[in-house]
Amino acid sequence: MRTASHAALIILLLGLSLIVFSCGRGSAYGRFTEDEKHRLYAAALAVSDSPLDSEVFKGVCQRIEIFDASGKPNDKYIQFVSAHGDWAARPQAAQFRNQIDTPQKARQYIDEHLTG
The strand pairing partners of 67, in sequence order, are 73
Q: What is the pLDDT of residue 36?
A: 96
Average pLDDT over residues 50-63: 91
* Burial call 12-48: b when 16+ CB within 10 Å, e when fewer: eeeeeeeeeeeeeebeeeeebeeeebbbbbbbbbbbb
Q: What is the pLDDT of residue 2?
A: 59
Q: Is residue 27 part of a domain?
A: no
Examine the pLDDT at 23 and tell me if it is beyond 90.
no
End-to-end CA distance of the chain: 43
Q: Is residue 98 part of a domain?
A: yes
Q: Is residue 59 part of a domain?
A: yes
Overall pTM surpassing 0.85 (yes/no): no
Q: What residue numbers bound the domain in which 85 lies?
A: 32-115
Q: Is residue 24 part of a domain?
A: no
Band (pLDDT 50/70/90 cuts) for residue 30 is low
How many domains does the chain fold into? 1
